[in-house]
Chain A
Amino acid sequence: MATGAARPGVILSPAVQRLAALPILAVIATHRDDGSIQLNPIWFELRDGYVVVNSNTRRAWPRNLQRQKKATLLLVDPDKAAERYAQIHGRLVAVTPDPNVEVINRLSRRYTGKPFRELEPGEERITFTIEPVRVTGQMI
């Protein structure tokens, strides 16, 4: 997935692509088992039109995402917080182990300029590829 061969369901507008190019956090929304809503700030990158995120296997949102196969991601313009934002409804299309921490290191450099911290004992990183299927919000 995201090899360049496949194309995502929705092509993000230039305005959303410009926003996504900034090292801003996305807020990923999933549902918990009991139907309540889980919101987490996360690192992300756009690759070939897909949203790529990474986590460790112990946290709640990756478990929710793998169960539901879908998520909402919110990107907020840091200069116009409550006025300019894009909401991406996405579908989980690939789950890829990241044993060499290649993806999380790339994300870490994007946000902090440095490689990711040392993994904790037993920590396993995993990469999720999310296909945008609908984009709403207040962006152009």
Chain B
Amino acid sequence: MAVQLSTKMQEFVKEVFPAIIGTTRKDGSVEEVPVWFEFAGGFFWINGGTNRGWFKHLERDPRITLLLVDPKNMWRWSQVLGRMVKWEEDQGGEHINHLSHRYLSKDYQGPRTGRIKVQIEPVRISGAIDGDWGR
């Protein structure tokens, strides 16, 4: 079940830096990649091509973890354990263009077709932003 973000977390997720996502490969190892994200309507949203390894992993095992670290201050970080709720076609590349404006303040320069947006519900949150280091 989705959890609510604390007030501090709701502010933290507005900051602009890539998230690191972790997904589980078929061989049981973890795949880690940096991705653009946004938090909207109580969910995390990421975007990619259907050929991305992480997306194939999520179709097999929907569990995903996002790590957010302030690139200017290593002590500000948060770990979000989550689950893919659904994915849908990013029609016309509107969502990737929206993310491009969040990160680069300009239109997306890459191809806008063959992309999907992925909805992730936060299931458990830990890390320094919420004052928890251990778990």
Contacts and interface: CB of A to CB of B under 8 A. Distances in A.
Q: Size class of A's contact patch?
A: 20 to 34
A74 B30 CA distance: 10
Interface string A34-51: 011111110000000000
Contact of B65 (A36, A70, A89): A36
A111 B36 CA distance: 26
Interface residues of B, number: 31
Contacts of B79: 38-40
A39 B134 contact: no
A37 B24 contact: yes
B74 A41 contact: yes
A59 B134 contact: yes
A129 interface: no
Interface of B: 17-18, 20, 22-24, 28-36, 61, 63-67, 69, 71, 74, 77, 79, 81, 103, 133-135
Closest 7 CB pairs of A and B: A29-B30, A39-B67, A74-B32, A37-B65, A37-B22, A72-B30, A82-B18
